[in-house]
Amino acid sequence: MSLAEPREHVHAIAERLGGLAESADDTEHIAQVQRLLDDVRRAGFAHERSEYLAAYEAVFERLDDWEHGLSERRYLLGGATPSLADWWLFAALVRFDPVFYGLYKCNRTRIIDQPVLGAYLRDLYQHPGIAATVDFGAIRRHYWLEDSRISPKMVYPLGGVGDLWAPHDRALRFDRKEFDQSAVEEIQTAVRAKGEFVRGQSRHRDRITADGSSGFVGVPGRYHLYVANNCPWCHRVALARSLKGLTDVVSMDVLFYRRDPDRGWQFRPEEEGCTADTLFGSKYVQEIYARVESTEKSVPILYDRETNTIVNNESAEIVRMFNDGFGEHADNAIDLYPTEVRDEIDELNAWIYTDINNGAYKAGFSSSQAAYELAYGRFFAAFERLDRRLRSRRFLTGDRLTEADVRLFPTVFRFDHVYYTRFRLDHRMVREYPGLFRWLRDMVHYPGVMAASNLEHCKRGYYGRTGNNIVPVGPALDFEPAP
């Protein structure tokens, strides 16, 4: 069955979703979509300009109606899930930018550029399993090679799709308008039931400041860091500590790269690259949390010797306070969060965390095929986006390394050696993305980066606790110097 025509595409989607019955409410909406498709075709094959203009106006009048209507509800019928009518509209919209916009000259605006319809299209495309039903190559060939009257060279373009894996706000706007922590936990439980991995939330959230206004002043010898080298969240904290010259200011212990099945993160100083708990002689991280009557068990942990408390265990916040919380005691030649690019860094951090840092875990720890495929698609769409960006600049925001690079690095650093196989993210290796690979090699040779990076612990931590516990030797790739 060809999926190039909208009707066949909708049938394929219905099969993928286990069947979709057409309700009375669907019928009129589906008829409107079919009229849109007729008008698009009339515009494309018009013999007279007046005929083209009439069809053109009809097309965008319908699109404007949907742009307005879908600003007030997530789906056409107002329900919590897409109906058959939504999938008919999806089949039309997904063809608009790569075909109807150029070939049929319906070029007032692209769908991907419209604030409501663009987000609606991305919302449906990212629905589990739906991206697999879209074959843009087949769609382009079907339309662009159909008739030499409107495509005289009989050559079809390769682009025009836009980033359909980009974030959208549809679920947040219409499904989660108001929620407290208990509601968050209910949502996470529901998502887990669908097989999707959900990361827990850190609860120790105090802050170190250079002037001590927070109650925690950044001075040498007061604070101690606990990390595990194989944990990417710990890795970025260790990177910030190294890059900011805080290795003699904030002491650090390194946990064993495998957790105890019952007690969690553990100290094994006899293992190469690991240390004892130099503050308390603990055997497990749980014991450190117990000292402050906490039941948490995650790392990193930033501990305050003076008040005998945990300052913070949220890696993003520790990175930020290592950058600005130690004043003259840090190396201020490097600013990881410069004022002039803070908005850009925040925007980068948001989608890199969602689709790449945490996205790798959503793919690797998913317990359903649909959840895995969704995470897989978003991950590699984000990798493509990064690669394009890094082909024209040294670092993510330009010529200098910032917090955005620090937060991205742990995922990319361990990708070819771990995530490609361990998390089944096997579309391409980093080495196959020229911009991203050049950035990785540059990062590896940036002063202070490799001092905080332990690839062997990464491999042993991810592989040494599953299956037959064999840690693979390869791949045969080392980080060669950047040209």
User: DSSP characters for 86-117?
Assistant: HHHHHHHHHHIIIIITTTS---S--GGGSHHH
- Candidates 4, 185, 34; CA nearest to 95 is 4
Q: Is the dihedral of CA 140, 144, 145, 147 positive or negative?
A: positive
Average confidence (pLDDT) over 273-297: 97
Quote the CATH superfamily of domain 223-329. Answer: Glutaredoxin (3.40.30.10)
CATH of the domain spanning 339-463, picked from 3.40.50.2300, 3.10.20.30, 1.10.150.120, 1.20.1050.10: 1.20.1050.10
| Domain boundaries, given as residue ranges, for the chain | 6-175, 223-329, 339-463
**Pairing relationship of beta strands 251-254 and 301-304 according to DSSP bridges:** unpaired
Q: Regarding the domain delimited by 6-175, which CATH topology (the fold level of the hierarchy) does it fall under?
A: Glutathione S-transferase Yfyf (Class Pi); Chain A, domain 2 (1.20.1050)
Give the Å distances, CA to CA, from 383 to 20, 157, 359, 432: 34, 23, 11, 11
Average of per-residue pLDDT across 210-215: 96
The three-state secondary structure class of 472 is coil
Sign of the torsion formed by the C-alpha atoms of 92, 96, 99 and 100: positive
Query: How many angstroms separate the CA atoms of 32 and 55, rounded?
Result: 14
CA-nearest of 198, 201, 224 to 296 is 201
Answer yes or no: pTM beyond 0.95: no
Strands 251-254 and 309-312: unpaired
Do the beta carbons of residue 66 and residue 117 sit within 8 Å? yes
Which H helix or E strand runs over 45? none
Rounded average pLDDT over 182-206 = 51
3-state class of 352 per DSSP? helix
Q: Which residue has the higher pLDDT, 185 or 70?
A: 70
Active site (catalytic) residues: 231, 361
Percent of the chain with pLDDT over 70: 91
R_g over Cα of the chain: 26
162 falls in which pLDDT band (50, 70, 90)? confident
| Backbone phi, psi, residue 253, to 5° | -115, 145
Q: For position 182, what pLDDT does the model report? A: 33
Same fold, 6-175 and 339-463: yes
Mean pLDDT for 454-462 is 94
Let me know: does 304 contact 216? Beta carbons within 8 Å.
Answer: yes
Q: Mean pLDDT of all residues in the chain?
A: 89
Q: Is the pLDDT of residue 174 over 60?
A: yes
State yes or no: cis peptide before 300, omega within 30 of 0.
Answer: yes
- For range 86-113, the mean pLDDT: 92
Give residue 21's pLDDT band: very low, low, confident or very high (50, 70, 90): confident
The Cα–Cα gap between 368 and 183 comes to: 23
Type of residue at 147: D
Mean pLDDT across 260-269: 96
The pLDDT value given to residue 178: 29
Neighbours of 124 (CB within 10 A): 23
Question: Quick check: 145 pLDDT over 50?
Answer: yes
With 60 as the cut, is the pLDDT of residue 168 above it? Answer: yes
Q: What is the pLDDT of residue 251?
A: 98
Residue 304 φ/ψ, nearest 5 degrees: -105, 115
The pLDDT of residue 366 is 86
